[in-house]
Amino acid sequence: MLSGLKNHPFPVEAFFKQSLVLTFAAPRAELERLIPECLQVDCFKDQWGFIAVAMVQTTGLRPKGWPEVFGADFFLIGYRIFVTYRTRAGKRLRGLYILKSETDKRRMQFLGNLFTQYHYSTTDIRQTGHSIRSAGSGLAVEISPEEEETPLPEGSPFADWKEARRYAGPLPFTFSYEKKKGQVTIIEGVRENWEPRPVNVKECQVAFIRDLHLNQVLLANAFVIENIPYYWKKGRTELWNR
């Protein structure tokens, strides 16, 4: 019964006040070891895979349809790999696999680990102006004030923002996997007004990425989104078609 609770047993809604997302490119083969057997790396030019670090100020998180008074406000840092999954019906779905989640509220850690498989932990998170920092997580990110013309990060595998846009979300699905059961949980997200704006990154220290010990990591793109109503449908499960 408890394991079933982790499969998103009810729809959830929230409001993304602001989200800063850094997307890192790494060789496809190196990322394959970080995801379960049922998923494939969503690769670019058959070479690069991507890890996104999303830093999100969220308000009003609650079961969908509940009054706002029951909502929780929290900050989230999520570390996710871009993946694809082929359903038993043969449909190819594009989405994310969550490696780890961090939050500034113990309540969110408890509920997140009760109802999801997103590996929540509580950490210190401080946002001031254009910077986000966490001593406990070894994270320090600072962006420049937005400009009309924002180039891609130096060394990005993308030729231009149009090419990078495919890896700036939103991806409709998130996946979890219970290996013992061979069971995949599919969570579909629904959003409005997703208009990512590219930003320049002045400082970028992410201990989680460093500690993966990947041979090659490049900052591929960085963007901000604001004021996004969002909800996740109830999770659905199926046995993986090996």
Query: Rounded distance, CA 83 to CA 153, Å?
Result: 22
Closest CA to 166 of 235, 233, 223: 223
* Range list of β-strands (E), 28-71: 40-41, 48-63
Q: pLDDT at position 2, please?
A: 58
Q: pLDDT at position 171, please?
A: 87
- What's the average pLDDT block by block, 10 residues per block, for the chain (242 residues)? 78 95 96 97 95 96 93 96 96 97 96 94 95 97 83 93 87 94 95 89 96 95 94 96 80
Domain at 2-239, CATH from 2.40.400.10, 2.60.40.420, 1.10.260.40, 3.40.190.10: 2.40.400.10
What is the 3-state secondary structure of 120-168? EEECCCEEECCEEEECCCCEEEEECCCCCCCCCCCCCCCCCHHHHHHHC
Query: Rounded distance, CA 107 to CA 167, Å?
Result: 31
Q: What is the pTM of this model?
A: 0.94
Q: pLDDT at position 3, please?
A: 63
